Amino acid sequence: MARQIGNSRNDTRQPRLPKDPAKREREMAIREFAKNNGISIRVAKVMFEEAEEENTKPQFKKNIEGICPVCGAEGNLEFGSAEIDEGGVKYPWDCEDCGASGEEWYDMTFSEHCNVTDKDGKEYANKT
């Protein structure tokens, strides 16, 4: 059986640094930022990409879905039941790492009508 290299779920090696000096410097900055803030490289990359779009420096406290904005914990938010409010949906959360709490908000937009029946219960065929 051939040995699989680099694709194991337990593989903690980081990818090689790029050879291009600018890309290499950016990747090293991302890794250092992740290490200094105790967050994953994936989250640090998202923060760097957002900062680049806004032409600012990456900041630790960001609004990223599923990430605690206080401590940066990834995947450690315990969510409560969804509530519909003011055209959106909010999910209350508690961070299992630092004890912070808050709400994640999602905007709602109309998608489509479906499963429509007339007053007699007959299925109504939507005509587009």
List pLDDT tens digits, range 52-101.
877 777 665 567 888 888 777 788 899 999 999 877 899 999 999 888 88
Q: What is the mean pLDDT of residues 45-55?
A: 79
Q: Any residues with CB less than 8 A from the CB of 34 and at least 6 apart, and which?
A: 40, 41, 43, 44
Q: Which residue has the higher pLDDT, 128 or 73?
A: 73
Banded model confidence at residue 11, pLDDT cuts 50, 70, 90: very low
- For residues 34-38, give the mean pLDDT: 76
User: How many CB atoms sit inside 10 A of residue 41's CB?
Assistant: 15
Report which of 112, 69, 113 is spatially closest to residue 94, judged by C-alpha positions: 69
The DSSP call for residue 54 is H
More confident residue, 6 or 41: 41
pLDDT-derived band of residue 4, with 50, 70 and 90 as boundaries?
very low
- For residue 33, CA distances in Å to 6, 17, 38, 117 come to 24, 15, 8, 55
Reported confidence tier of residue 13, pLDDT bands at 50, 70, 90: low
Amino acid code (one letter) for 36: N
Rounded distance between C-alpha atoms, residue 112 and residue 102, angstroms: 31
pLDDT band at 12 (very low <50, low <70, confident <90, very high): low
DSSP 108: -
Q: Tell me the pLDDT of the chain averaged across its residues.
A: 78
Residue 94: what pLDDT? 94
